[in-house]
């Protein structure tokens, strides 16, 4: 299953208390809580589908690699599109930016884009 912080764990109250203590409007706080809840639900479902334990970096990697997961993730997190959902996920989990998995996938995707551009120009 997706390793979401449990209620007894300090991470879950910290995330929500940060939102609660912020200067964001109540509507923004509610949207943030719904996004976090949707991210946990998506992670749990993808974990069951893949039959793997997933951490945040592994979930991020699967989302980048699988188009159907991208559409599902954007829908369940109530994001306008997948790009916005990913940016929100990166904002909530800044450690993903420095993750080896993220860097490797970014390089891989950039190489694919460059190769496609070269083929189109020929």
Average pLDDT, the chain: 80
Q: Express each pLDDT in 100-117 by its tens digit.
A: 877 887 787 777 767 676
Does residue 6 come out as left (phi exceeding 0), alpha (psi in the -120 to 50 range) or beta? beta
Tell me, what's the pLDDT at 41?
A: 95
- Are the C-beta atoms of 86 and 42 separated by less than 8 Å? no
Return the DSSP state at 2. Answer: B
CA 73 to chain centre: 8
Model confidence at 85, pLDDT cuts 50, 70, 90, reads very high
On the 0-12 / 13-18 / 19+ scale of CB atoms within 10 A, 2 is buried
């Amino acid at each position: 299953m997706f390793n979401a912080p449990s209620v007894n764990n300090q991470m879950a109250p910290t995330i929500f208390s940060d939102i609660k203590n912020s200067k964001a409007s109540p509507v923004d706080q509610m949207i943030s809580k719904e996004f976090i809840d949707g991210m946990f639900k998506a992670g749990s479902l993808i974990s069951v589908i893949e039959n793997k334990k997933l951490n945040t970096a592994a979930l991020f990697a699967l989302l980048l690699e699988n188009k159907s997961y991208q559409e599902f993730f954007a829908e369940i997190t109530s994001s306008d599109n997948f790009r916005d959902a990913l940016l929100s996920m990166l904002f909530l989990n800044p450690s993903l930016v420095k993750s080896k998995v993220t860097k490797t996938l970014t390089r891989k995707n950039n190489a694919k884009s460059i190769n496609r551009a070269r083929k189109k120009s020929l």
